[in-house]
Structure 1
Amino acid sequence: MKNLLPLLSLLFFVPAKAQIISGIIIDAETKAVLVNASVRIAGSTNGTYSDKNGKFVLMLSGDRSNKQLISTHIGYNTDTILITEKTSLTISLSASNKTLNELVISGVSKATRIKENPVAITAVSSKTIERASENNIIDVLVKNVPGLTAVKTGPNISKPFIRGLGYNRVLTLYDGIRQEGQQWGDEHGIEVDGYNVDRAEVIKGPASLMYGSDALAGVISLFPYMPPNNGKIIGRFISEYQSNNGLIGTGLRLGYRDNKWMWQVRGSYRIAKNYKNNIDGRVYNTGFNEKNVAAATGYYSKYGKSLLNFTLYDNLQGIPDGSRDSTTRQFTKQVFEGTSDDITQRPVVNNEELNSYRLSPLHQHIQHYRVYTNNHYELGKSRIDALLGWQQNIRREYNHPTQPHQAGMYVRLNTLNYDLRYAISLTKEIDFTVGANGMYQNNKSLDATDFPIPDYTLFDVGAYACGKWKHKKMTMSGGVRYDTRQVNSKDFYVRTNAQTGFGEQVRFPDTANTTLQFPAFQKNYNGISVSIGGTYEINPHLSLKINIAKGYRSPNITESLSNGLDPGAHIIYLGNRNFEPETNWQEDIGAFFQFDDFAASLSVFNNNVLHYIYLTQLADAGGNPVIDAQGNKTFQYQQSTAQLYGAEASLDIHPMALKGFDWNNNFALIYGFNRNETFKDQGNSGAYLPLTPPAKLITTISQEFVPKWKYVPTINISAAVEYNAAQNRYLSLYNTESATPSYTLCDVAAGAEIRYAHHKTLQLRVQVNNVFDLACQSNMSRLKYFEYYSASPNGHYGIYGMGRNLCVKLIVPF
């Protein structure tokens, strides 16, 4: 009766010549229904979405002849069928890693196709993520998104950079909630469970319109797996091993969903020892021990859903400092404190320690807790989204060898996130969205001895309005946002503890014999963000897009107030209280080509940043770096004007005549310049921005076979080549950076689906990264600059990247 009523109401109001098409959309492999799949008539705006049961009803006016029905869903191949006299259809969509036609969520009022979105955006499917064998989820995305790179401090520490900008300029979202840790730090990655990331979207360019400050460079949006609506308990077990650093990882999840209720539990554990290469051998203190636990529950109704989620991340992470014996180049370790610690006299690390899973006493401990609720409801033509979340990030860095249980840095960051959004479809062609979001933060140092930043509170709120107009082959979208942020910190006193000899925080009024390391600070920041752009589908094979956006970012706490050693980064940071907010104008122009046998894209961008904040190494009167007794260098934040421009291109060849064959190519080129007049025509002595990635080309050839064997339904093989050009445009001022030669890495992989039960198949994949065991250094690796000597007996300086790595991955659904 419930399914009959919509049909009767449609028939009552539809003209006589109008006809009704209904059906259900399912996953071609699992047969699970697909919710919110798009169904439309080709060449028109007449369309709808599948409901929570995968069903749809669509009115068709006029003659059926030669009309086509197009079905799309995130992570699936687009399906186009010719409409016949049949009025009830079952449409099966197959999973795909092709992204040009993929629906995306980020940055718009509702899901839209990539080539209809004027913002530069790349989607990474669940299939791509499952087949990847990298050390963390950011490295997986770097391999698949042109223009995305990462600053690395070992295998498990990757800080994302988008088009040459990173740290607090890149906003990371997990299930819609912004990830809040200490993003300004170099020596830790993002605190998420990579085994539970189902798919991802990367927005390249200012995304401040929807998200506020800290999205100046773009957004990385990670979507966790959610169980399908099939009324069954389903699960997945994942396990992997990597030979280079002995990484052992396991993950397990169980979930259930029916028409009303959903629940899910997840857990994972990963452990690794020191990685190795053929120059350094095993690199001391690069192992880690990572644990994750999560749970979710939710209620679904005909109007929408309410979900409650909890996640816990706990990571013990090695912190390499790169100290060595000057003659043998063997790694050494710190065993004394302060002036008693002579870096040239440290003892050599023995082989047992180098090959052990046991971490050095000098490591960091990062914990991240998250509780949040997502709510989405549809009321006719309008939609309401509400998010409320709390997260806590705790970071301890142990740097005292004589008292290993005493943390050098110990900070606790509490964040309350809120987001309310209202969207309405005013007509079939016009969508309009208004919203407000922001956060409240409180950061506090606990039982620490080093204090690079003070305690502070932060309140942030922003309101925005945006709209989208789609008419025939043209789509226009744009909007405006206003943000305000208030930062407060009180006087922060420190002194030396007479018993331990370490620093300690002292609170007023007990301030005798103390130093005022951080005077009180209060500042309000305000900014306006604007975006406008459009796409035009010239024909089914060619689409053009253009977008102009103004972004805004307020200075983070370390840029403004830092004054001390970050023991994990081995850097003494100095901030500037008078910084202005960063703003930028970025222009993007892109073209997308799609044919049966190949797809291609080309994007060019220009980004002008006002009040650009960057780090410069300090030098003494003789031009030598300022270094303390433990070899920690001193860096100071500066502000200038910057310009970044470049291009990205992709070419995906998949001839229909060669079923299962795919040749994918991604290319990115970025130039970054400091436009301060002082550095005009100074080249490497100040004209180039630090941490600018070189030109990079990744080409991957893969072939999937369907042998029709009873127990092995599919086999896939692939080979990838990653070419990184030489980076001769670097910041050599005060020895901040040095030139980086070009290098090429090669990977090969083979995988298969193996049937182990009726309609159940497991995935087994074997991959070899860096097949030829090349010793190389990326200019984006901080370890390249971990060097304390001006001369080396073997001619090599700094630490090299990971050598050959055999990876075995097993995924068992049940």
Structure 2
Amino acid sequence: MRTLFLLFSLLATNTLFAQTGVLKGRVLANNLPLSYASVNVKGTGKGASTNTKGYFEIKNIPAGTYGITITSIGYEAETLSITISADNPVVHDISLKEKPSKLNEVVVTGVSRATQLRSNPVPITVMSKKEIEQHVNNNIIDAVIKGVPGVSAVTTGPNISKPFIRGLGYNRVLTLYDGIRQEGQQWGDEHGIEIDQYGIGRAEVVKGPASLTYGSDALAGVINLIPYIPNGDDGKLNGDVIADYHTNNGMVGTSVGLSYKKNNWKYAFRATAKTAHDYQNKIDGFVYNTGYREFNLSGIARVDKSWGYSQIGATLYDNRQEIPDGSRDSLSRRFTKQTYEAGQDDIKSRPIVSGDELSSYRIAPLHQRIQHYRLYTSNSFKTGDGSVNTSLGFQQSIRREYNHPTVPEQAGLYVVLNTINYDVRYNLPAFGGVETTIGVNGIYQTNRSKAATDFPIPDYNLFDAGSFLFAKKSFGRIDVSGGIRYDNRHISWNNFYVGADAQTGFGKQALLPDTAGANLQFPSFKHTYQGISGSLGLTYNLSDRLLLKANIARGYRAPNITEIGSNGLDPGAHIVYLGNRSFNPEFSLQQDIGFIAYLPDMDIVAEAFNNNIDNYIYQAKVNDADGNPVIIVPGNSTYQYQQSKARLYGAELTLNLHPQSIKWLALDNSIAWVTGINKNQQLIARYGNAAKYLPFIPPLHIRSALKLNLPSTYGLFTKLNARLEADSYANQNHFYALDNTETYTKGYTLFNAGLGFTIKPAKAATCFYEFFIQADNIFDTAYQANLNRLKYFEYYQASPNGHTGIYNMGRNISFKAILHF
């Protein structure tokens, strides 16, 4: 009997294995092979990507009839019904049609659920991984700036870029990583975005208030950076290796990404390391203390089932970023370094920095160290015709700024920020053609100072909760969407005392009951901010290629911690911040109108906006009654936050030419313009035009790029592409000049060029290489961007060479190679 049972089991097993088949074929577009297209067998979790010649193969498919879906960015999806036989492989050649435009692309940012770009009335721009890679940069925000008109950044050296959208930045721009809001002390000028630039596969940018679905801190818009997961055959390890080198600051970047999928599970992992010495330009030479060293780790695991999906992810970021201060020898203009503490330091007697230090990869004693850890999960559960989406995340940001030259291991600033993110939303079944979503989301946050000597902000607790309702419906050619939201943010802190360390003489936090002789730097505070925001917009589909969009939105933002609570030195920014705890929340009313045309030979996107803000908060330098700068801490500027009404208005125009008769040629053009008006009438009446405009407003920006893309194969080389671009910024005459907070900025034009190609070894089945060569600022133009904080790092009233402040990076040639396997 046992023998018969074993025989029966073997026969059953062989029969089971025999009932599987193979699907293979080729995907074409315009009669040419289409590489990296995705082919998926519905209901099995099996799929594959086409190779560089358009071929694919999917094995071990149980016999039966299935829906086969073939997708590729820029092409219309194709679904076929195919019967899989166990006897013979099923071979299919499939042709995809190009989409008439990008309008059918699906976006997930700024909406309640995934939706087509064409039906969303809010201005959204999408950058693909290919577009990101073609702009070799020192950080991910710089790549977004080059690809999205209307986005700019406040910079502090090449590795610190804080995004601004249409003239609004800091906590008004919400940065997301895979849908989870990024929390890492966004209030600081020198606090960058703590995200691995090599690990991003897609960027979605919302231009305009997105408070409806994200709450406070999305007054200006959202940048959602979505991680890249290499796609490949089931049961095979796939990945990429990236090597990147920049000549100007010697930046060396390496990154390894791995992915694996089996049945319904996907796994991805990435490790990145970057290091750079000081950057250089022809006015300043090497700019002392602008080097950095950065490490990143990230991992994602995801399972897709019939009930929905579940994903868990984790990231680790560790960056040592040098802190420039701009001190120089008054005659030679060579950079000097601080060697004594503030009380004994003499700016005129500082030693000159040696050439070896300027070109060294060793991190200088004066630097900041930022560590950011994140663990999060995102889930979707089907509930009949509806679904429930949830996300939960924990982040910890540890920031230390070392500014004591005699005791380099002593941090001047040492803060630990812990944040819990939560989001729950229910997508109701469609009723009467109306898709409705209700949800609640927010954060719980604590910030604590550790063993520091400077305390710009108090230790605080923050709880933020908001609920919203969002709905959309189509009426023939018209798509309408909108909703309403209520937010509640509670922030509080206890009395915070600062005394003096008897041994070192540095400041230190004094804890109750031992506060004798200490100063009450932050009296206790407790307040609740509330706000109602909403949005209503429509899209009118003139045709498949022509759209009109209009949207009106009320945005809301609670004041951030520095605006209401700051009272001390931020060592890395060299700024003493003074807040005002009586500030009210900001409320904006913005109108957007847009025209979009994706024609056979050209793309036209024209967008205009008008934004009126109540209780707008901005930082301004403080002068005394005699017009001299107020100096609270020697060698550092003093800024006090102000609040008034404001208006911002402007437009973006994109005109991309891609004639069908010359498919390998394209000419992309964009222009972005914004004006920020300070509507504090009392201030303007007293000081005139000096106070007329808002600070941190970018000038008129024009970009033109001539692109060549050759689809044919030339021996080992394929996908040859080249780019020549002109990047122009006009003079910035409209700036906040009161107390010399800002000064006039001269316009400039930078010329850049790039070359890219792919090499596919003849004997390699799936392995191929991509190469990018880029030259930025080809003519080594000396310039200062008006949003470059280093422009204002100057100790002297006059300069022997006529140049003050620090200039931006000079010519830089970049080389990047990517091995895909």
The alpha-carbon deviation at position 498 of structure 1 amounts to: 1.2
Q: 1:12-411, aligned counterparts within 5 Å?
A: 28-33=34-39, 76-79=73-76, 99-228=102-231, 230-231=233-234, 232-411=236-415
Q: What's the counterpart of residue 66 of structure 1?
A: none
The alpha-carbon deviation at position 185 of structure 1 amounts to: 0.4
The alpha-carbon deviation at position 447 of structure 1 amounts to: 0.5
Query: Residue 592 in 1 paired to residue 596 in 2?
Result: yes
> SS at the partner of 2:713?
coil
Residue pair 2:196, 2:272 contacting (<8 A) in 1 also = yes
Q: 1:618-767, aligned counterparts within 5 Å?
A: 618-628=622-632, 630-680=634-684, 684-756=689-761, 757-767=764-774
The letter for the 2-side match of 1:28 is L
Residue segments in structure 2 that go unaligned for 5+ positions in a row? 1-24, 49-68, 84-90
The alpha-carbon deviation at position 53 of structure 1 amounts to: 5.2
Residue pair 1:419, 1:436 contacting (<8 A) in 2 also = yes
Provide the C-alpha distance between the structure 2 equivalents of 1:431 and 1:52, rounded to a whole number of angstroms: 28
Query: Residue 775 in 1 paired to residue 782 in 2?
Result: yes
Residue pair 2:684, 2:690 contacting (<8 A) in 1 also = no
Provide the C-alpha distance between the structure 2 equivalents of 1:89 and 1:545, rounded to a whole number of angstroms: 41
Residue pair 1:33, 1:229 contacting (<8 A) in 2 also = no
Query: Residue 524 in 1 paired to residue 524 in 2?
Result: no
Q: What's the counterpart of residue 491 of structure 1?
A: 495
The alpha-carbon deviation at position 689 of structure 1 amounts to: 0.2
1:359–1:467 CA distance, 2 compared to 1 (3 A): same
The alpha-carbon deviation at position 296 of structure 1 amounts to: 1.8
Q: What's the counterpart of residue 39 of structure 1?
A: none
Residue pair 2:47, 2:233 contacting (<8 A) in 1 also = no
Query: Residue 795 in 1 paired to residue 799 in 2?
Result: no
Out of 501, 505, 514, which is 2:505 matched to?
A: 501
Provide the C-alpha distance between the structure 2 equivalents of 1:315 and 1:508, rounded to a whole number of angstroms: 34
1:630–1:51 CA distance, 2 compared to 1 (3 A): farther
Deviations 1:305-341 (A, max 9, x none): 1111110000000111111111111111110012211
The alpha-carbon deviation at position 112 of structure 1 amounts to: 2.3
Provide the C-alpha distance between the structure 2 equivalents of 1:83 and 1:391, rounded to a whole number of angstroms: 44
1:34–1:633 CA distance, 2 compared to 1 (3 A): farther
The alpha-carbon deviation at position 34 of structure 1 amounts to: 6.0
Query: Residue 805 in 1 paired to residue 812 in 2?
Result: yes
1:583–1:496 CA distance, 2 compared to 1 (3 A): same
Provide the C-alpha distance between the structure 2 equivalents of 1:684 and 1:350, rounded to a whole number of angstroms: 44
1:96–1:684 CA distance, 2 compared to 1 (3 A): farther
Provide the C-alpha distance between the structure 2 equivalents of 1:407 and 1:645, rounded to a whole number of angstroms: 42
Residue pair 2:255, 2:271 contacting (<8 A) in 1 also = yes
The alpha-carbon deviation at position 98 of structure 1 amounts to: 7.1
Residue pair 2:589, 2:613 contacting (<8 A) in 1 also = yes
Q: What's the counterpart of residue 43 of structure 1?
A: none
Provide the C-alpha distance between the structure 1 equivalents of 2:377 and 2:603, rounded to a whole number of angstroms: 38
> SS at the partner of 2:147?
coil
Query: Residue 430 in 1 paired to residue 434 in 2?
Result: yes
Q: What's the counterpart of residue 448 of structure 1?
A: 452
The alpha-carbon deviation at position 707 of structure 1 amounts to: 3.6
The alpha-carbon deviation at position 266 of structure 1 amounts to: 1.0
Deviations 1:74-98 (A, max 9, x none): x711338999999x99756699997
The letter for the 2-side match of 1:780 is L
The letter for the 2-side match of 1:697 is I
Provide the C-alpha distance between the structure 2 equivalents of 1:95 and 1:292, rounded to a whole number of angstroms: 37
Provide the C-alpha distance between the structure 2 equivalents of 1:558 and 1:108, rounded to a whole number of angstroms: 30
Out of 511, 514, 517, which is 1:510 matched to?
A: 514
Residue pair 1:469, 1:475 contacting (<8 A) in 2 also = yes
Residue pair 1:722, 1:745 contacting (<8 A) in 2 also = yes
The letter for the 2-side match of 1:535 is T
Q: 1:511-590, aligned counterparts within 5 Å?
A: 511-590=515-594
Provide the C-alpha distance between the structure 2 equivalents of 1:278 and 1:694, rounded to a whole number of angstroms: 24
1:684–1:54 CA distance, 2 compared to 1 (3 A): farther
Provide the C-alpha distance between the structure 1 equivalents of 2:729 and 2:92, rounded to a whole number of angstroms: 49
Q: What's the counterpart of residue 785 of structure 1?
A: 792
Residue pair 2:419, 2:443 contacting (<8 A) in 1 also = yes
Provide the C-alpha distance between the structure 2 equivalents of 1:169 and 1:34, rounded to a whole number of angstroms: 40
TM-score by length of 2: 0.90
Residue pair 1:146, 1:667 contacting (<8 A) in 2 also = yes
Provide the C-alpha distance between the structure 1 equivalents of 2:765 and 2:233, rounded to a whole number of angstroms: 17
The letter for the 2-side match of 1:764 is F
Structure 1 range deviating more: 464-473 or 308-317: 464-473
Provide the C-alpha distance between the structure 2 equivalents of 1:303 and 1:25, rounded to a whole number of angstroms: 30
The letter for the 1-side match of 2:110 is G
Out of 596, 604, 607, which is 1:603 matched to?
A: 607
Provide the C-alpha distance between the structure 2 equivalents of 1:216 and 1:90, rounded to a whole number of angstroms: 48
> SS at the partner of 1:685?
helix
Deviations 1:714-734 (A, max 9, x none): 211111110101000011100
Q: What's the counterpart of residue 51 of structure 2?
A: none
Provide the C-alpha distance between the structure 2 equivalents of 1:306 and 1:462, rounded to a whole number of angstroms: 24
The alpha-carbon deviation at position 204 of structure 1 amounts to: 0.7
The alpha-carbon deviation at position 376 of structure 1 amounts to: 1.6
Residue pair 1:33, 1:230 contacting (<8 A) in 2 also = no
The letter for the 1-side match of 2:151 is L
The letter for the 2-side match of 1:790 is Q
The alpha-carbon deviation at position 126 of structure 1 amounts to: 1.1
Provide the C-alpha distance between the structure 2 equivalents of 1:287 and 1:650, rounded to a whole number of angstroms: 35
The alpha-carbon deviation at position 301 of structure 1 amounts to: 0.9
The alpha-carbon deviation at position 540 of structure 1 amounts to: 2.5
1:98–1:399 CA distance, 2 compared to 1 (3 A): farther
The alpha-carbon deviation at position 188 of structure 1 amounts to: 2.2
Deviations 1:747-800 (A, max 9, x none): 011111001223432101111000000000000100001111111000001000
Residue pair 1:259, 1:301 contacting (<8 A) in 2 also = no
Provide the C-alpha distance between the structure 2 equivalents of 1:423 and 1:462, rounded to a whole number of angstroms: 17
Residue segments in structure 1 that go unaligned for 5+ positions in a row? 1-22, 36-48, 56-70
Deviations 1:398-422 (A, max 9, x none): 0000000000000000001110111
Q: What's the counterpart of residue 12 of structure 1?
A: none
Provide the C-alpha distance between the structure 2 equivalents of 1:116 and 1:90, rounded to a whole number of angstroms: 32
1:495–1:84 CA distance, 2 compared to 1 (3 A): closer
TM-score by length of 1: 0.90
Deviations 1:440-470 (A, max 9, x none): 1010000100000010110110000001101
